[in-house]
Amino acid sequence: MAINSTKVQSTMVVKFKTGVDEKGKDIIKNQRFSKVKVVATDENILLVGQALGTLLKYPLIEVDREDQNLIINE
């Protein structure tokens, strides 16, 4: 049984710190950017996320990539 996986969608998630709660724990918010080209490299996504981070009011924590795959049995 052959399994085939095809990437169908990528999303960039930019995480940033908006403050600290009453217990001293960081408050982290996410901003999602969908419709990222599936052929975009991880490096390109990171560079774009970091560039967007310079425009944010809050400090950038990390840039994530979420991929959605279609898995079929051939």
Distance CA 12, CA 9 (A): 10
For 4-17, write each residue's pLDDT tens digit: 999 999 999 999 99
Look up the pTM and report it.
Answer: 0.83
Burial zone of 17 (CB within 10 Å; 0-12 exposed, 13-18 middle, 19+ buried): middle
Residue type, 58: Y
Q: Give phi and psi for 23, each to the nearest 5.
A: -95, 0
Please name the residue that has the structure tokens 């217990």: 23
Domain boundaries, the chain: 3-73
The model's pLDDT over 53-62, given as tens digits with 9 standing for 90+, comes to: 999 899 999 9
